[in-house]
Amino acid sequence: MALYSEKVMDHFLNPRNVGVIEDADGVGEVGNAKCGDIMKMYLKIENDIITDVKFETFGCGSAIASSSMATELIKGKPVSEARELTNKAVAEALDGLPDYKMHCSVLAEEAIRSALEDYEKKQGIQ
């Protein structure tokens, strides 16, 4: 069996939504000191819908693939739905991650939550 699924390899080699949103409505940055991965997510939100999302990730292939897939899963979705995204859903959408790489999908979930918290703080929702 291959270590990584075709979807993981595709999102690693051809990541979607890479970059920065200069006038982002919400920005979240998280990291894992143990593995060294750092993820930054940028959200553009209009009428409670995530109209654009970009990421910058410094990390392994699983971290990049998890970031890419997570952005695909929330783009065009309501904020409430994005808030419900779990690391398990990210891993499942990638057709699985090795157990020792599951922390990468956790980082993706945390980066999105952090960006949503930043957005809510800026909007005075918190």
Q: Is 104 a residue of the active site?
A: yes
* 3-state SS, residue 57: strand
- φ, ψ at 105 (rounded to 5°): -70, -30
Distances (CA, A) of 119 to 5, 16, 64, 113, 115: 33, 22, 23, 10, 6
- What is the C-alpha to C-alpha distance for residues 87 and 90, in angstroms, rounded to an integer? 5
Catalytic entry in 10, 31, 32, 35: 35
- φ, ψ at 39 (rounded to 5°): -125, 140
Catalytic entry in 104, 108, 112, 116: 104
Q: Is 35 a residue of the active site?
A: yes
What single-letter DSSP state applies at residue 19? S
Which residues does the annotation mark as catalytic?
Answer: 35, 104
